Homo-oligomer: A and B are copies of this chain.
Amino acid sequence: MPVTLKEVAERAGVSRSAVSRTFTDGASVSDKMRRKVEKAALELGYSPNALASSLTTGRTKLIGLVSNNFHNPIFLQVFDLFTRGLQDKGLRPLLVNLSDELEPGNSVRMLRQYSVDGVVVASSTLPPEFARAFRDAGVPVVHSFGRYSSSPEVHVVTIDNREAGRLAARTLVSRGYTDVAFLGGPETATSTQDRYAGFMSELALHPEIRSSYSFAEAYSFDAGRREMLRLLNLKPSEAYFCGDDVLSIGALSAIADRGLSCPGDIGIIGLNDMEMAGWENINLTTIHQPIEQIISSSIELMLALLENPDRYPEARIYSCPVVERGTLRPPPTA
C-alpha cells in the first residue's frame, strides 16, 4: 500500500540509487536530479521506510525506554521529558513497562529483536545489574536515576542517594529533633536502600538521637498514607524523612486525618521537589532532585554513546539542595 522507492524511481525515470541518495543526507546528488526526484516523491506521497533502511545502515533510531514506576506522578514528567527530548533528536522511544518483572532477560531479548540503537533504563529501584544486562548484550545503555557507584560499570546519571539521606539527617538534626525516622519506599528499591543507609550513617554520628525506620510498599501516595496511618497508631517519631515526595504527601494526608499538625506535631522532609510539593496547602520541605538536568544529561550521554559505543562508563551525579518550605520546624535560635 505505501509508496516505495522503486515507484518513485520509475516515475522520475531515474535509478533507485538516485532516489535513495536524495533522501540520504551527505550523499552526492545534483540539483537537477534532486528536483526531479523530489517532484516524483511529492506526487506519489513517498516517504522512506525507516525500518528497511535500518537493515543496511544498522541504525533504527529506536531507543528502548524501560521503566517500572507507573505510580509515582513524578514519572509522568520523566516520560514527558524523555519522549520530548528524544523526539527532538530524531529518536523514537519504544516504551517497555517492566511492572513486576525483575529479570532483564525478556526486555533485553525483545529490544534486541527490534534492533534498538540504545536503551535508557529510567528507574530508581532497579539494581545496576539490570542495566548491565543490556551492555552485556552489546546495547548502549544509560541508567537514569539509578544507583550511584564510584566505579560504574554502565553509564549512570543520577543523584547520590546516600548523600541525600545524610543531608536529610543533617537537616533534621539541625532543627533539634531528637527522635527521627526514615519512612522509605519499597525495601527492594536501590534508592530506598541508599537513602536509608545515608540517613542512618549520618545519625550514627549523633548517638543521642533516637531513630527508627519503616518501609512503604511502593513509591505512591497511597502507600505513604497507609504506612503513616500505621505508624500513628503506634508511637510516632518527632520527624520523618520520607523517601519520596509522594510518600510525604500521603503521610501528610494521614497526619491531617488524625487531626495532627505538621510541623506542629510531626515534621516531614521529602525528596524530589515535585510540583505538588510547592502548593500552598502542602508546602512540603523537601530535597530537590534535578529531574530536568538528569534527563537532558541522559539524552546527551545517549547521543554520545551512539557515536561511540565504547565510551568509558561514567557516573554523572547531580547535587540535591534542600528546599525549605513549611513542614519542618525552624532551627532552634542560638
Residues on A facing B (Cβ under 8 Å): 1-2, 47-52, 54-55, 60, 62, 65, 70-73, 75-77, 79-80, 83-84, 87, 92-97, 99, 109-110, 112-115, 138, 221-222, 225, 253, 256-257, 275-276, 279-282
Contacts and interface: CB of A to CB of B under 8 A. Distances in A.
A114 B51 contact: yes
A62 B95 CA distance: 11
Tell me which of A94, A95, A110, A253 has the highest count of chain B C-beta atoms within 10 A of its own C-beta: A95
Contacts of A282: 253
Contacts of A253: 279-282
Tell me which of A62, A97, A225, A280 has the highest count of chain B C-beta atoms within 10 A of its own C-beta: A97
A21 to B, nearest CB: 18
B114 A50 contact: yes
A92 B110 contact: yes
B97 A95 contact: no
Contact of A48 (B70, B72, B87, B113): B113
Contacts of A225: 279
B112 A47 contact: yes
Nearest to A64: B92
Contacts of A55: 51-52, 55
A48 to B, nearest CB: 7
Report how many copies the assembly holds. Answer: 2
A115 B112 CA distance: 18
A68 to B, nearest CB: 10
25 contacts: A2-B112, A49-B115, A50-B114, A51-B54, A51-B60, A51-B115, A65-B95, A70-B77, A70-B79, A70-B80, A76-B76, A79-B79, A79-B95, A79-B97, A80-B97, A83-B95, A83-B97, A84-B99, A93-B95, A94-B94, A94-B95, A222-B279, A253-B281, A256-B281, A257-B281
B97 A222 contact: no
The 8 closest A-B pairs by CB, nearest first: A70-B80, A83-B97, A50-B113, A73-B73, A51-B51, A253-B281, A76-B76, A95-B95
A93 B55 CA distance: 21
Contacts of A276: 221
A84 B47 CA distance: 31
Tell me which of A51, A79, A80 has the highest count of chain B C-beta atoms within 10 A of its own C-beta: A51
A159 to B, nearest CB: 22
Contacts of A222: 275, 279
Tell me which of A87, A138, A221 has the highest count of chain B C-beta atoms within 10 A of its own C-beta: A87
A1 to B, nearest CB: 5
Contacts of A80: 70-71, 97, 99
B76 A87 contact: no
Contacts of A76: 70-73, 75-76, 79
Contact of A92 (B71, B72, B94): B94
Contacts of A49: 113, 115
A270 to B, nearest CB: 17
Given A51-B54, A280-B257, A2 B138 contact: yes
A1 B70 contact: no
Contacts of A279: 221-222, 225, 253
